[in-house]
């Protein structure tokens, strides 16, 4: 009511400019107000913020003196040259290594700090490709219909029962036999199987949204098909696309950890998965090196639970029926 | 019975099998390696004596494996053989056939997978049902929170945590392998001591799979219960004055459990992948360890065979569930007619 009056009073040229206070009041404030109720989302986002802070602060401030007597940041500490060859695996926070050193004498803290963004990077690249391809296929299937739709649907549905990890193992071994993959190559390998899930979810949503009144309205007023897709449908698909992106990120990190734990990933890059591989490889549990196994696992648990909560929170945004009653 | 539905599912099954066999055939060949020749050269060099006819031997073996024929001919032969479950011979463990290798291992995987799946499905669903039914029971929610939280963690990562915990509590508890190693005459299924050892060794991997999967089923069931609770027949049951327990078991759970089966078909592929990894972490004698060994030694026929059989099993189980589902749930049957 107030707002309607305000816009009547204001001069006409004002209305073409975005009003900052209006934007804050109409967009941001409701989002924050809603977030306060969506507890899952809040917990998930804060888990991520905590990990981000941990990595950021460590990158800026953490350093150790390496073998050659040089001061090294986290990136330098995980390089092979920094290995303290004469040091046995040990855990003694007062020795200067807060999480101890691994069997190669490497600083575990630095390895975890470098590993988090590397593993996330694999997940995000693979998920972005997967959701992108899935979305294009979903729109093509829903719009062209007929044989194309049937083919895409059959391919998507028949790929779903194939155990993904096994196919990824085949791809990873045949791409670069013997040497392992780089971090980005691994991301592309995982993207190979990241698209059927998003394609399935988004296609069914496109079919639903296409029949909505406002899309019909836009069509009747002569909006071009692309205009309808980008201006009318995309904004309403966004929560679904975002939810499947988060789910795909989690799934891709899961897949990457699986492939890496088999020793098929980038073994020389300190991703969380290759840390776990070396733990399994040296059977660190039986050696009593719990302080080497626990850090990557704890980080992964925080990562997976955080992503899961964000995706459940986004589900709530997308399906208002799930929303908590106030 | 809706024939169109059955025909659609069968087509899907055939396409899945065809895609699996195609993927399995072409992917290893992309690497451009010749594992057969490598293996023979390796063998020929052993013992310091250089066999002068190595090249000839490679040729003979390539003919035996059919590697000398054009690619499309190999492909057609592979697909035809594979759908008849003739998976060829292993390169690494020659002259064992892949079928023989699988026969030793597949039961371990199958029993472990099915057992944990059934346990998790029913216990998890019961938990989810209770969670929604006793909505404001804080004790229940606190007890369930950790189970819901770990459901986002991969099976084998949780398995590593379990290993760590149990190892520090009881050093004698079996953490790896499928039965006690180093006993002469084992595996011997008529020996009670052996069976006891198998059961004891299965506890850790089974626990790590079951505990992690509980949360997913509980969440799914809770969602279904929300829908079911709003149905008219629930209102009627309450109006009739039925006891709480009857309403929960005979009305709510019965109607919510069936749609969970749909979730089962979607989860099967993930579960198989997860079980394979758990087997590797726990040194369990199923196909997981065998797959890893085959991959490491470039044993294509074995790798292909294992991946194909697992994909086939998953697809067959999905098909079976899809076909059984309308029989279990009369609501779907009448909707299809």
Q: Which positions ≥6 away from B316 have C-beta within 8 Å?
A: B13
Residues A47 and A309 sit within 8 Å (Cβ to Cβ): yes
pLDDT band at A49 (very low <50, low <70, confident <90, very high): very high
Average pLDDT, chain B: 83
Structural tokens at position B322: 């899809």
- A85 pLDDT above the threshold of 90: no
Strand-pairing partners, residue A142, are: none
Identify the weakest region by mean pLDDT among A39-43, B63-67, B313-317.
B63-67
Looking at the complex, does the CB of residue A297 fall below 8 Å from at least one CB of chain B?
yes
Task: Give the pLDDT band (50/70/90) at residue B337.
Answer: very low
A165/B273 touch (CB, cutoff 8 Å), yes or no: yes
**CA dist., res. A168 & res. A186, Å (int):** 9
Percent of chain A with pLDDT over 90: 12
A302 touches chain B (CB under 8 A): no
If one counts every other C-beta atom within 10 angstroms of the C-beta of residue B54, the result is 15
Query: Lowest mean pLDDT: which of A212-216, A270-274, B64-68?
Result: B64-68
Burial A305-325 (b: 16+ CB within 10 A, else e): bbbbbbbbbbbbbbeeeeeee
Whether B160 and A290 lie within 8 Å, measured CB to CB? no
- Which residues in chain B have Cβ-Cβ distances shorter than 8 Å to A261? 156, 277, 280-281
Residue B280: which of A164, A173, A262 has the nearest Cβ? A262
Higher pLDDT, B193 or B238: B238
Q: How many angstroms separate the CA of residue B315 from the nearest CA in chain A?
A: 5
Alpha-carbon gap: B63 to the closest alpha carbon of chain A (Å): 23
Structure tokens at B152: 């986002």
For residue B127, the number of C-alpha atoms closer than 13 Å in the C-beta half-sphere is: 25
Q: Please report the pLDDT score of residue A322 as a whole number.
A: 56
Contacts of the segment B178-182: beta carbons below 8 A, 24+ positions apart:
B178/B108, B178/B202, B178/B283, B178/B284, B178/B285, B178/B286, B179/B285
Task: Name which of B19, B292, B303 is nearest A170 (Cβ-Cβ).
Answer: B303
Ranking A97-101, A182-186, A239-243 by mean pLDDT, the lowest is A97-101
Please report the pLDDT score of residue A66 as a whole number: 67
Tokens at A85, concatenated = 């060859």
Segment of A170-184, A306-320, B33-47, B175-189 carrying the highest mean pLDDT: A306-320
Residue B280 CA to residue A214 CA, distance in Å, equals 53
Nearest to A285 among B153, B167, B307 (CB): B167
Q: Which residue of A has its CA nearest to B10?
A: A158
Q: What pLDDT, on a 0 to 100 scale, did the predictor assign at position A7? A: 46
In this prediction, residues B274-288 reach a mean pLDDT of 89
Residue with the bigger pLDDT between B296 and A8: it is: B296
- Taking the Cβ of residue A173 and every Cβ of chain B, the question of whether any pair is shorter than 8 Å is answered with yes
Complex confidence, ipTM: 0.80
The mean pLDDT of A20-41, rounded to a whole number, is: 73
- Burial (CB < 10 A; 0-12, 13-18, 19+), residue A273, is buried
pLDDT band for position B297 (cuts 50, 70, 90)? confident
Cα–Cα distance for residue pair A177/A169, rounded to 1 Å: 11
Q: Is A254 on the interface with B (CB under 8 A)?
A: yes
In the numeric block, which tokens belong to residue B224?
């279904």
Average pLDDT score over residue span A179-197? 84
Query: What is the pLDDT at residue A93?
Result: 65
pLDDT at A4: 46
Question: Are residues A308 and B151, on separate chains, in Cβ contact within 8 Å?
Answer: yes
* Beta bridge partners of residue A64, listed in sequence order: A72
B108 in Cβ contact with B284 (< 8 Å): yes
A152-165 tens-digit pLDDT: 888 888 888 888 88
Q: Which pLDDT score, from 0 to 100, does residue B123 have?
A: 94
Whole-angstrom distance, CA of residue B270 vs CA of residue B264: 10
The whole-number average pLDDT for the span B269-290 is 88
**Could you report how far apart the first and last alpha carbons of chain B are, in Å?**
7
- From residue B228, how far is each of A96, A299, B121, B132, B243 by CA, in Å? 58, 38, 19, 11, 17
Tokens standing for B71?
Answer: 């690619």
Reported as a single tens digit per residue, the pLDDT across B72-118 is: 888 888 888 888 888 777 877 777 888 888 888 888 899 999 999 99
Closest CA to A296 of A278, A323, A314: A278
**Quick one: tokens of B215?**
């949360």
CB contact under 8 A, B164 and A290: yes
> Which chain A residues are closer than 8 Å to B291 by Cβ?
166, 169
Count CB neighbours of A208 within 10 A. Answer: 13
Contacts of A253 in chain B (CB under 8 A): none
User: What's the pLDDT at A82?
Assistant: 52
Q: Check A166 against B16: CB less than 8 A apart.
A: no
| The pLDDT of residue A2 | 45
- If one compares A31 and B15, the residue with the highest pLDDT of the two is B15
- Identity of the residue in A164, A264, A308 whose CB atom sits nearest the CB atom of B152: A308
Taking 80 as the threshold, does the pLDDT of residue A205 lie above it?
Answer: yes
CB-closest option in A170, A264, A293 to B160: A293
pLDDT confidence of residue A1: 41
Q: What average pLDDT is seen over chain A?
A: 80
Q: What CA–CA distance (Å, rounded) separates A113 from A61?
A: 12
Counting residues of chain A whose pLDDT is more than 70, the rounded percentage is: 81
Most confident stretch, B24-38, B83-97, B298-312: B298-312
Do residues B125 and B215 lie in contact, with contact meaning Cβ atoms separated by under 8 Å? no
Beta carbons within 8 Å of B214's beta carbon, 6+ residues apart: B120, B123, B124, B127, B147, B151
CA distances A227 to A137, A211, A218, A233, Å, are 18, 16, 9, 9
pLDDT at position A6 over 50: no
Residue A287 touches chain B, beta carbons under 8 Å: no
Q: How far is A73 from chain B (nearest CA, A)?
A: 29
From the list A161, A174, A297, the residue facing B161 with the nearest CB is A297
């Amino acid at each position: 009511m107030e707002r309607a009056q305000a816009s009547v009073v204001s001069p006409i040229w004002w209305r073409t400019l975005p009003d900052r206070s209006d934007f804050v009041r109409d967009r941001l404030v409701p989002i924050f107000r809603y977030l306060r109720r969506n507890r899952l989302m809040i917990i998930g986002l804060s888990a991520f913020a905590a990990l981000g802070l941990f990595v950021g602060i460590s990158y800026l401030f953490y350093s150790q003196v390496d073998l050659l007597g040089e001061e090294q940041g986290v990136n330098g500490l995980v390089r092979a040259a920094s290995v303290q060859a004469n040091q046995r695996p040990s855990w003694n926070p007062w020795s200067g290594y807060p999480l101890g050193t691994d069997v190669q004498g490497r600083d575990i803290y630095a390895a975890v700090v470098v590993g988090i963004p590397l593993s996330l990077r694999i997940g995000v690249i693979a998920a972005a490709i997967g959701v992108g391809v899935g979305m294009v296929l979903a729109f093509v299937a829903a719009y062209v219909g007929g044989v194309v739709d049937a083919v895409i649907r059959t391919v998507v549905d028949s790929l779903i029962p194939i155990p993904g990890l096994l196919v990824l193992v085949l791809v990873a071994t045949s791409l670069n036999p013997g040497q392992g993959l780089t971090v980005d190559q691994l991301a592309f390998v995982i993207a190979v199987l990241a698209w059927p899930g998003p394609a399935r979810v988004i296609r069914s949503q496109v079919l639903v949204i296409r029949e909505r009144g406002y899309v019909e309205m836009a069509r009747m007023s002569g909006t071009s098909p692309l205009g309808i897709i980008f201006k009318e449908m995309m904004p309403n698909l966004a929560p679904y696309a975002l939810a499947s992106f988060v789910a795909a990120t989690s799934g891709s990190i899961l897949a990457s950890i699986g492939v890496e734990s088999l020793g098929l990933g980038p073994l020389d890059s300190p991703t969380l998965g290759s840390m776990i591989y070396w733990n399994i490889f040296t059977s660190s549990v039986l050696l009593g090196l719990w302080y080497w196994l626990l850090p990557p696992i704890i980080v992964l648990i925080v990562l997976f639970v955080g992503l899961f909560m964000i995706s459940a929170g986004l589900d709530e945004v997308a399906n208002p029926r799930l929303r908590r009653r106030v | 019975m809706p024939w169109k539905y059955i025909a659609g599912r069968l087509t899907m099954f055939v396409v899945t099998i065809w895609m699996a066999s195609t993927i399995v055939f072409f992917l290893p060949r992309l690497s451009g390696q010749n594992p057969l020749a490598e293996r023979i050269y390796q063998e020929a060099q052993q013992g310091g004596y250089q066999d002068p006819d190595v090249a000839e031997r490679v040729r003979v073996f390539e003919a035996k494996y059919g590697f000398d024929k054009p690619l499309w001919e190999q492909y057609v032969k592979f697909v035809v053989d594979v759908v008849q479950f003739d998976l060829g011979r292993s390169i690494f463990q020659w002259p064992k056939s892949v079928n023989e290798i699988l026969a030793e291992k597949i039961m371990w995987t199958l029993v472990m997978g099915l057992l944990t799946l059934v346990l998790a499905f029913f216990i998890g669903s019961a938990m989810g049902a209770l969670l929604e039914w006793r909505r404001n029971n804080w004790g229940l929610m606190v007890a369930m929170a950790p189970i819901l939280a770990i459901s986002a963690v991969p099976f084998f990562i949780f398995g590593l945590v379990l290993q760590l915990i149990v190892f520090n509590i009881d050093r004698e508890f079996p953490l790896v392998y499928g039965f006690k190693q180093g006993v002469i005459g084992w595996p011997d299924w008529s020996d009670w001591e052996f069976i006891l050892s198998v059961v004891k060794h299965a506890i850790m991997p089974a626990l790590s799979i079951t505990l992690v999967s509980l949360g997913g089923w509980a969440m799914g069931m809770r969602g279904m219960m929300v829908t079911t609770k709003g149905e008219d027949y629930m209102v009627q049951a309450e109006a009739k004055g039925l006891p709480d327990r009857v309403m929960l078991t005979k009305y709510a759970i019965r109607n919510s459990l069936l749609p969970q089966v749909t979730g089962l078909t979607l989860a099967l592929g993930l579960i198989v992948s997860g079980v394979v990894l758990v087997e590797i972490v726990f040194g369990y004698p199923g196909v997981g360890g065998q797959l890893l060994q085959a991959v490491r030694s470039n044993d294509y026929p074995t790798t292909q065979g294992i991946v194909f059989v697992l994909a086939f099993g998953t697809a067959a189980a999905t098909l079976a569930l899809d076909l059984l589902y309308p029989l279990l749930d009369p609501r779907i049957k009448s909707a299809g007619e």
